[in-house]
Structure 1
């Protein structure tokens, strides 16, 4: 059976919530069956605790079929990492485009990130498995570049908000940004879909907290 050197079962080009007006959609990112199975397995058992056989069994496919689509387990991890980051980027870009002031843009961007975390908890949690991706894997830098783009989008909002006096930040704005993004990432460690708060409620709460952190007033969106 032929084996591709690249992941040949990529995430769809169209991601949930990737256009202004629909970035608040609460739906998981659509994935091929093998990636969906791997997503659930990595969430349940972690990358190292999951075998290729586990993924094939969950997907209901043979090992040769799985290897036809993915070179190895790292290739599957790459595909999931990129699918998750594409989802975040799509939501954040759309959320920012849906606002005009720095206050509204920051609120929307944080809300969009947390919506990704809560709407597709299993996919969002795969980001923690980046530590198992070989440092010389050519796809690692691409993923890190997408993650940096998200950081840069929010950094630009913070700097514009500080310059316009919409935000009042004491200290290093980049350090504050790392705090905000770190708090968003931690949602995957405690949020549960059957909990008391819905994805929309959690996202709105984090957006409001981010505005308080930068010394901005609330928006009509929160």
Structure 2
């Protein structure tokens, strides 16, 4: 069934024993499961940007009349919020699952969380670009809610880097700066990755994970 957004189970938090049930396979990517209205909005926003897309065009792509589209979403802004909610639901669900599957050690958790960020920004490239590029077009309350969820992802990386420094497995003197640099690098993959490019996703993960571990001074 198509979904607009999903509730996130945050029981799989950092530094807990790995859980073996009720966790998604965070490395597995299928269709995103967007409704046809959100899928139509996503394709239009990728091609034309939020400002360049009309409600009439989204309705046409979805096979609906404009009044029919308004039955599902009251505005173009609501469509943007629905898309960014779906992106962050997906990302955070996968991030907590990756963390939980890695066990308690900060080094293994760092590797899993970074790998998840890299894979997400490859396999959810278009929706990730919408979320990152259209923030300025969100109304203030929606923007604040989106940024809070984006900050939640950043804190996961911050926490595991600080834990690694405390445990002596990372030796960066600037854990917060290193953490931000790693996340920025991972997010930027969505701007250049192409499925038909010269590097496979696994090779990109291997190379960029080496760079990320170097940034935090992994031993």
Aligned residues: 204
- d(CA) in 1 for partners of 2:89, 2:73: 19
Candidates 22, 27, 42, aligned match of 1:24:
27
Correspondence 1:134-173 to 2 at 5 A: 134-135=139-140, 138-170=141-173, 172-173=174-175
* Residues 168, 216 of structure 1: 8 Å contact kept: yes
* Residues 103, 166 of structure 1: 8 Å contact kept: yes
Correspondence 1:95-174 to 2 at 5 A: 95-100=98-103, 101-127=105-131, 128-135=133-140, 138-170=141-173, 172-174=174-176
- d(CA) in 2 for partners of 1:158, 1:35: 36
- d(CA) in 2 for partners of 1:165, 1:118: 31
1:57 matches 2:51: no
- d(CA) in 2 for partners of 1:36, 1:71: 16
Q: Secondary structure at the match of 1:186?
A: helix
2:19 corresponds to which residue?
none
Correspondence 1:23-42 to 2 at 5 A: 23-42=26-45
For structure 1, which segment, 175-184 or 152-161, has the greater mean C-alpha deviation from structure 2 after superposition?
175-184
2:15 corresponds to which residue?
none
Taking a change above 3 Å as real, the CA distance of residues 54 and 96 of structure 1, as seen in their structure-2 partners, is same
Quote the offset at 1:14 in angstroms. Answer: 7.9
Taking a change above 3 Å as real, the CA distance of residues 200 and 68 of structure 1, as seen in their structure-2 partners, is farther
Quote the offset at 1:120 in angstroms. Answer: 1.7
Unaligned runs of 5+ in 2: 13-21
Quote the offset at 1:32 in angstroms. Answer: 0.3
Q: Secondary structure at the match of 2:120?
A: helix
Name the TM-score, length of structure 2 as normaliser: 0.86
Q: Secondary structure at the match of 1:185?
A: helix
Quote the offset at 1:182 in angstroms. Answer: 1.0
1:199 matches 2:201: yes
Name the TM-score, length of structure 1 as normaliser: 0.85
Quote the offset at 1:194 in angstroms. Answer: 1.6
1:5 corresponds to which residue?
none
Taking a change above 3 Å as real, the CA distance of residues 199 and 60 of structure 1, as seen in their structure-2 partners, is farther
